[in-house]
Amino acid sequence: MLRMSWSTFRDRWPVFLGAIISVCLGVALVQSSLLTLVSAATAKVPPGLSAVEERAIRDGYVGAISLLGMTLGLAFFVAIFVVSSTFAFTVAQRRRDLALLRLTGAGRRQVRTLLVGEALLLGVIGSALGMLVGLPLMRLQTTMLTTFEFAPPGFTAQWRDWIIAVSAGTGVGVAVLGVLAASRRAARVQPLEALRDLGGAARVMTASRWVFGVLFLAGSVALLILVSAVGGEAALPLSINATFTLVTAFALLAPLVVPLVAAPFGLVFRGKLGLLAQANLRTGVRRSASTAAPIMVLVAFVVGMAGTTGTLTEASRQEITRELRGDLVLNTDRPVGDQVAAAPGVTGVSEQAPVSFDIGTDEGEDGVEWESADGLAIFPAAYEETHRAAVTSGNLADLRGASVAVTPSVGGWKVGDTMPVHLTGGPDQLRVVALLPETLSGPAVLLSPDLMPDGPRQYVVRATDPAAAATGLATLGQVMTAGAWVDEYNDQQQRTNTNVMVALMGMAMVYTLIAMVNAVVIAASDRRAEFAAARVTGLTRSQVVGTALAESVAVVAIGVLLGVLAATGTIVGMASAVRDMIGINVTSLPWSMFGAVVAIALAVVAVSSVLSTLSATRTPPIRLVAARE
């Protein structure tokens, strides 16, 4: 059977080209993300730097590792999802050939061995190509990280020889696993049923689809509830994981949606061609669901990610607006508190300075683990005049000397605890005097004014005449109204979110676009005889192309519908987490991003459909119809 696998692959290589491309790009994406992640995790801080420079570089690597960890998880999921769906679709298309093989005497085990052998060959070829493609992809990923300042300048990903085994194992493993379930079903279907497309061969919603679809859907609900419960920094990774499970659930249950979309399809596309396209959708449920899968992935992740980050940004903006009680914000490069207080119309000033330090956490026998933290050194009384400075326990008035106030997420500290720290020119321990409520945008750590370093300052100013005060403060530094400062912060957050989306999902989303083209081409290659029969009965070539294009529009609608459902779940989960965390009820829906994604998906699928249908109808129809007899 392995020899037959090679013969089948050699004779029908164009059919398997899409599967090879899927494996190749999947391996390249995983390899690039993994090498970049390992390089960031093992990067060394250059010697001879100051404590501040060393901490900045170390924090840069920590941020890059966090982002690359999510990128690697997304790459694995997209690769497994696309490759497995591609292989399952390819096997389903060949059920008639496999039925003939069974009728000639091949047993179920032999059929499965044939398919697994083909998957093994495709996996080896795709992995070899993927290793080569992964090298320029790794350089591109590194460039994005440094350009967007998610990694320190000069960071480069390094090649490691062990990645050859990992890449080969990933490609071959994903290919074989992707074909196992489909091969088991193909071998179990009775040959005559497969030839006539009846019974088990015609059933798309199998028992396994129902069971796993419901299980993944239930798991998604549990994850979305967990997102709301944990909140904080863990909410975004959990939301991405919820998108994984929702996409998987909807992919398994997609055949249920195809008839729902096909039902009103005849009303939209009237006439005989519309009815024909509607009938093709109903009879080609498996084909439509498989083609819609990468569209769903694209919409779910892009819209879901844009919606969750947009929700966080808008919630942060509203939180800052709620917490800030000043009229002006002044940023300077040195302490100028007395001059600010003397400006015309100024009635109150809060001075604060950024402080970067390390917090130690007792890890038992492993000693103390140090983590970087950023805080603000403040004057408590003045800070409470210009900010809504609530505490859950303790008192900010006790913030003096070697003391600190923190949120619970910083390390689970309690009032009265002694916190080990590495603080340049300061004490090695700080006493926790207050606990702050969880926040999205505010400082998680407030330090005593006695720990305020020299250097940049920020002043929040209250004034009876903000315009006159702004004129008087203009010579001291950058001054802006509180509203303008909030808007500038919001714009910066939006730019950061855009960069995160590009770095996190850019290459994976390009992969899904290629997978869309791949799915359309594979589907069209199996419909040559169907198109020929339609032309023999009186349809022109342009009418056949138009019918296939109309079907593609419906497939895009299916993918968009399922993707929106998955994205909505993650956005609602994040909005719930924000509400429980800071008491602000906000949901940001990325309409412009949604429109762009739908337009791109529609254009890619439509162009692919037209070109592949034109290619499939190039042969005179009578020759293909005669070949079937």
DSSP secondary-structure letter at 452?
Answer: P
Phi, psi of 585 (to 5 degrees): -100, 105
In a domain, 315, yes or no: yes
In a domain, 361, yes or no: yes
Is there a single domain that holds both residue 318 and residue 383? no
| Confidence (pLDDT) at 6 | 62
In a domain, 402, yes or no: yes
In a domain, 76, yes or no: yes
Domain boundary among 430, 457, 484: 457
| Average pLDDT of span 147-166 | 86
Is there a single domain that holds both residue 129 and residue 274? no
User: Residue 439 belongs to what H/E stretch?
Assistant: none
The answer to whether residues 371 and 361 touch, using CB atoms and an 8 Å cutoff, is: yes
Is there a single domain that holds both residue 320 and residue 355? no
Domain boundary among 203, 227, 254: 203
Number of domains in the chain: 3
Strand 403-406 to 429-435 pairing: parallel
| CA angle in degrees (0–180, nearest 5) for 189-191-195 | 110
Is there a single domain that holds both residue 82 and residue 23? yes
Q: How many CB atoms lie within 10 A of CB 591?
A: 11
| Confidence (pLDDT) at 626 | 53
| Average pLDDT of span 166-187 | 79
| CA angle in degrees (0–180, nearest 5) for 228-234-236 | 80
State yes or no: pLDDT of 399 exceeds 90.
yes
Domain boundary among 457, 474, 501: 457
Is there a single domain that holds both residue 110 and residue 196? yes
| Average pLDDT of span 495-509 | 81
In a domain, 13, yes or no: yes
d(CA 328, CA 470): 7
Domain, as residue range, for 88: 1-203
Residue with tokens 């970049």: 36
State yes or no: pLDDT of 199 exceeds 50.
no
Is there a single domain that holds both residue 91 and residue 51? yes
Q: 517-569: per-residue pLDDT in tens?
A: 888 887 787 777 778 877 878 788 888 888 888 888 888 888 898 999 889 88
Q: 4-8, 67-71, 181-185, 243-247 — which is least confidently predicted?
A: 4-8
Is there a single domain that holds both residue 253 and residue 355? no
Q: 102-116, 172-186, 214-228 — which is least confidently predicted?
A: 102-116
In a domain, 412, yes or no: yes
| Confidence (pLDDT) at 96 | 65
Is there a single domain that holds both residue 66 and residue 186? yes
Q: 248-306: per-residue pLDDT in tens?
A: 888 888 888 877 776 676 666 666 767 777 777 777 777 788 888 889 988 998 898 88
Residue 351, strand partner residues:
459
d(CA 511, CA 301): 13
The answer to whether residues 446 and 464 touch, using CB atoms and an 8 Å cutoff, is: no
Residues in the chain, total: 629
| CA angle in degrees (0–180, nearest 5) for 260-262-266 | 130
Residue 358, strand partner residues:
372, 422
Spell out the residues 6+ positions from residue 427 whose beta carbon is closer than 8 angstroms to its own.
402, 421
Q: 326-369: per-residue pLDDT in tens?
A: 999 999 999 998 999 999 889 999 999 999 888 887 765 556 78
192: confidence class by pLDDT, cuts 50, 70, 90: low
User: What percent of the chain lies above the pLDDT cut of 90?
Assistant: 19
| Confidence (pLDDT) at 132 | 92
378: confidence class by pLDDT, cuts 50, 70, 90: very high
